[in-house]
A and B are shown apart, each in its own frame.
Chain A
């Protein structure tokens, strides 16, 4: 029995921390935040060189052949650093092809997804908050092409390849560089994870043969990666609030010496700390415990992202007026918390799913 990360996983985390602190510190996030781009090419190249973009893809196709537990380590550190870009969409696109694709599809796309040369994302959601495979309605035209619209596509303007969710939980690959695919910037809240609405006008679709069988597993991986982002974000919020409380003075003393604030910060930590082992377990279960994986993913997503939103709100509050400014960085995590909580369905949906999965 050993419920801890391995040396290698710890090294992955600390290497990523070092890279992001050096190459994409808060100042860079701030610059990105005020721009329009959905991807930073320099950052993307750096991550590709580190092998992070293909961490979870099979070694035969240029990936590192690691597990979801490893991938969630990366997601957690991105959450901590508020790293911008479509990492989640890209990781899921590769995972979809690895899980549900045929040999030709894997050979064609996975090496280039692993190297970052092709940028992938998922076009899953449909209007009216339909995120779950059983809720997808999008059908194909009689000639097998796709006409329709998908909102909330992460990094949609940069994506070269989209995994599209279709009726009956089917999945298809769409080459997003074809003329029949148009991505329009959305009025998105979280500028670190820009989303687009993608219009398909008779776009060609290459269906993933195991799509219907694997789309729930793909969704579960998404839930775990979102929870991992929230774990990292929550940790950062607790650190930011604590640091500010040790520096800021009022009434002649640091505000962190007032019991009212100390107790609020203790509550933040109490909310945040148990989230990490829950998310680790969800990833471990996805990798190793098939009969509990879906329920653990639902629990991790609903619990951790719900906690993160509360923690992020309290973090703004703990910073007082400065926390309410655009200039202060704390709102990045507030908005990431909203994203993590809402993307792929909110806590209510996943708690109901967890209850069903528990057989209650």
Chain B
């Protein structure tokens, strides 16, 4: 066992630190620009330096670095320390690009990846339907090939940021005669067309990040399909794998943010951090965060050197969700009456501790989005512990 990275990686760490010191946060005139602008500029520089979009070829706007999970870990650690932005958020970057790289046609990669990296193309994820949530493969949105176009009818829901996206990668039933999973294809659909109607859904936070997307004779070109007809389920598994990976491992940053708040909070006029109960809860929480961190190190080691990580890879999402929930409970208790305020900060008013209510509700969202916590428990019980599957019929369809 050796947790040091070795000279090569410590040299690399120094290089990353020097880069960050001179580029983030923005200095002088640049710091007055809108945040999105200097984030974009920073991402361009960080990509040129080889720190971001490492798995994306240069010709598609990435930095095309050989896979090196230790360098990736150093970058993650140092960027987190400097609180510098990493790859742009959004489903296009986190889900579509990895999927296209693995399963896309050459022309699809050329047409879509670079513009997604640059932020010109933004993508919505068209998976869930009103009747198909956890049982996603039961989806009923239909696609028919008419001439050289797919004609798509149905409805998608929980479609994050669809209002600001130009395209949607979409699971559509194109082979109605085939089995549940085998009848699905993975289509790319332009959102700016008469056959698409997007209606925002207001969330419990009051914001409207997700939407309903209605497809009424929506059209897309015949070759805007990733993988072959009927392969969409497997193509989407590539993506979900990436989504799980992206969701896990955020707890240390969140813990640090909580700690900054705790240091400022008071209880009965005394610093909250002097309160024995608060100290105990923070210590108990930190132990969870450390357990997760060293579990991540172990999983990374198994990836590097071989070895069996056991059940841990099945638990990353649920563990993050549970830790996030505990963080929200501690924050909720400490912000006291600020929990009575809606966290949106309407009218440009100063935003205080009520912003923790976003985390309070967001931690609930995490238990639902990307596979609910109960589905995660099914996965641990069935794939991890080998308990009987929930539905033998589903099993048959899957295989």
Contacts and interface: CB of A to CB of B under 8 A. Distances in A.
Interface in A278-311: 278, 280-281, 284, 288-289, 296, 298-300, 302-303, 306
A251 interface: no
A45 interface: no
A2 B2 contact: yes
Contacts of A348: 280
A351 B311 CA distance: 27
Given A4-B301, A269-B384, A273-B311, A278 B286 contact: no
A242 B386 contact: yes
A5 B280 contact: no
Contacts of B283: 298-299, 302, 350-352, 354-355, 358
B217 to A, nearest CB: 40
Interface in B371-399: 374, 376-378, 380-382, 384-388, 390
Nearest to A242: B385
B1 A354 contact: no
Contact of A265 (B282, B312, B387): B387
A102 B16 CA distance: 48
Given A259-B390, A265-B381, A280-B1, A3 B298 contact: yes
B388 A256 contact: yes
Interface string B301-343: 1101101001110010011001000000000000000000000
Contacts of A306: 284
A11 interface: no
B294 interface: yes
B3 A284 contact: yes
A256 to B, nearest CB: 4
B12 interface: no
Residue of A273, A296, A352 most packed against chain B (CB within 10 A): A273
A299 B290 contact: yes
B288 interface: yes
A18 interface: no
A269 B288 CA distance: 14
B66 interface: no
A284 B280 CA distance: 24
Contacts of B288: 274, 303
A115 B300 CA distance: 39
Given A1-B6, A1-B70, A4-B302, A263 B312 contact: no
Interface string B56-79: 000000000000001001000000
B297 interface: yes
Interface in A308-360: 347-348, 350-352, 354-355, 358, 360
Interface in B284-300: 284, 286-288, 290-292, 294-295, 297-298, 300
A289 B290 CA distance: 15
Contacts of B294: 3, 274, 277-278, 280-281
Interface in A241-286: 242, 245-246, 253-254, 256-257, 259, 262-263, 265-267, 269-270, 273-278, 280-281, 284
A114 interface: no
Interface residues of B, number: 53
Contact of B300 (A3, A281, A299, A355): A3
A4 B380 contact: no
Residue of A262, A306, A352 most packed against chain B (CB within 10 A): A262
A276 B301 CA distance: 14
A303 B279 contact: no
Interface string A1-36: 111111000000000000000000000000000000
Given A69-B1, A302-B287, A262 B381 contact: yes
B269 interface: no
A4 B301 CA distance: 7
Given A1-B5, A360-B273, A303 B287 contact: yes
A31 to B, nearest CB: 31
A2 B385 contact: no
Contact of B387 (A256, A351, A352): A256
Contacts of B378: 259, 262-263, 266
A2 B4 CA distance: 8
B348 interface: no
A265 B291 contact: no
A4 B280 contact: no
Contact of B280 (A2, A269, A352): A352
B301 A2 contact: yes
B276 interface: yes
A254 B387 CA distance: 9
Contacts of B297: 1, 3, 277, 281
A28 to B, nearest CB: 28
Contacts of A256: 381, 387-388
Contacts of A281: 3, 290, 294, 297
Residue of B1, B3, B282, B319 most packed against chain A (CB within 10 A): B1
A266 B377 contact: yes
Residue of B273, B298, B310 most packed against chain A (CB within 10 A): B298
B291 A277 contact: yes
Nearest to A347: B284
Contacts of A273: 295, 310-312, 315
Residue of A4, A246, A300 most packed against chain B (CB within 10 A): A4
A76 to B, nearest CB: 14
A2 B287 contact: no
A-B pairs with the 5 shortest C-beta distances? A303-B287, A277-B294, A351-B283, A274-B291, A262-B381
Interface of A: 1-6, 69, 238, 242, 245-246, 253-254, 256-257, 259, 262-263, 265-267, 269-270, 273-278, 280-281, 284, 288-289, 296, 298-300, 302-303, 306, 347-348, 350-352, 354-355, 358, 360
Given A257-B388, A262-B377, 19 more contacts: A1-B3, A1-B70, A1-B297, A1-B301, A256-B387, A259-B378, A262-B382, A262-B385, A263-B377, A274-B295, A274-B315, A277-B298, A278-B290, A278-B291, A281-B290, A299-B290, A303-B284, A354-B283, A354-B286
27 contacts: A1-B70, A1-B300, A3-B301, A4-B305, A5-B1, A256-B387, A257-B387, A259-B378, A262-B385, A266-B377, A266-B378, A269-B311, A269-B315, A273-B311, A274-B295, A274-B312, A278-B287, A278-B290, A280-B1, A280-B294, A280-B298, A281-B290, A302-B283, A351-B284, A352-B276, A352-B279, A354-B287
